[in-house]
Amino acid sequence: MAQKPFDTLRALAIASQAIGLMLIITFETALGDNARLWQGITLALMIAAALWIALLRLYRRNKRRKRQLARQQEDE
């Protein structure tokens, strides 16, 4: 089976990390030393998003493997 040319989850992961980094820099610029709490919250959300996307990728991969295995068993 050919790989999809566009991986939606990968694009989502890259976008979420880019937005998080922009927010962290914006907080530092706008709030100065008072930005630490918001930067920490943003970082925690970035990590949570990355973990969620990794779990979705794992779920999709396992689902695809099960379908392929079922097709192979039907062919036999």
pLDDT, position 75? 83
pLDDT above 70: percentage of residues in the chain: 95
Q: Would you say 27 and 41 are in contact if contact means Cβ atoms under 8 Å apart? A: no
Furthest-apart CA atoms within the chain: distance in Å? 66
Domain ranges, residue 48: 8-75
Question: Is residue 1 in some structural domain?
Answer: no
Higher pLDDT residue, 2 or 51?
51
Cα angle: 60, vertex 65, 66; to 5 degrees: 100
Question: Is residue 41 in some structural domain?
Answer: yes
Question: Is residue 19 in some structural domain?
Answer: yes
Average model confidence (pLDDT) across the chain: 92
pLDDT, position 74? 86
Q: What is the pLDDT of residues 24-45, one digit of tens each?
A: 999 999 999 899 999 999 999 9
Higher pLDDT residue, 4 or 7?
7
pLDDT, position 26? 96
Domains contained in the chain, number: 1
**b (16+ CB within 10 A) / e for 61-74:** eeeeeeeeeeeeee
